[in-house]
Amino acid sequence: MLIAPAGNLSLSTPLGSVTYPAAWNEVIGVGGVNLSEGGDPVSSLFYLRNDSVFVCARADCDGEKGSSYAAPRVTAVVAAYLAMAPGATAKDISRFLKDTALDLGEPGYDTVYGWGYIAADYK
Helix (H) or strand (E) holding 27: strand 27-35
- At position 111, the amino acid (one-letter code) is T
Assign a CATH topology to domain 2-100: Rossmann fold (3.40.50)
**Do 110 and 50 form a contact (C-beta atoms < 8 A)?**
no
- At position 16, the amino acid (one-letter code) is G
pLDDT at res. 19: 80
Say how far apart CA 40 and CA 43 lie, in whole Å. 10
Higher pLDDT, 82 or 17: 82
- What are the boundaries of each domain within the chain? 2-100
Q: Average pLDDT of 59-76?
A: 86
pLDDT at res. 89: 96
Residue 46 confidence class, pLDDT cut points 50, 70, 90 = very low
- At position 14, the amino acid (one-letter code) is P
pLDDT at res. 50: 77
